[in-house]
Structure 1
Amino acid sequence: MRLTEFWNRMNRQFGAGYAESWAKDFVIAPLGYRTVEQALADGVSAKEVWRAVCEVADVPAKLR
């Protein structure tokens, strides 16, 4: 998954204004207790990060 697709999905899930804030502030256990931004900066693939987001947020099946 490309980062552009990842951010498109984040924006559809959380809204354009809130997705960036959520990615910066919400700590996700399946990502080693890192935020989305930290995990991406540490080299975790966008696909793996998206899977973790889907696991902790109530992401509809059509966006998974």
Structure 2
Amino acid sequence: MRKSEYARAVADEFGDVYGRVLTRDVVLPALGNVSADDAIARGDDPRDVWLALCEAQDVPPARRHGAGLREPRR
């Protein structure tokens, strides 16, 4: 997962404004008790950050995988 796909997944799942609040303020135990923004800034894999955020926010597993990908071109 690229950073752009991560950002798209966050916006799609949580909305633009609330997604930014979550990534800034929610502490993710799976990543050592840092926020998603801090984890991305320190170089963590965006996929790991996405999955940790999903776990912390109880996103159903069916909506975690494949998130952030654009619709295929026709």
Identity across the alignment (%): 34
Q: 1:6 aligns to what SS in structure 2?
A: helix
- Structure 2: which 5+ residue stretches go unaligned? 66-74
Q: Which has the higher helix share?
A: 1
In the aligned structure 1, how far is the partner of 2:22 from the partner of 2:63? Answer: 20
Q: How much is the aligned-residue C-alpha RMSD, in angstroms?
A: 1.1
TM-score by length of 2: 0.78
Q: Whose Rg is larger? A: 2
- Taking CA–CA contacts closer than 8 Å with sequence separation of 6 or more, which of the two structures ends up with the larger relative contact order? 2
Higher share of residues assigned strand: 2
Segments of 4+ in structure 1 off by > 4 A? none
Cα separation, 2, equivalents of 1:58 and 1:24: 17
Q: Number of paired residues?
A: 64
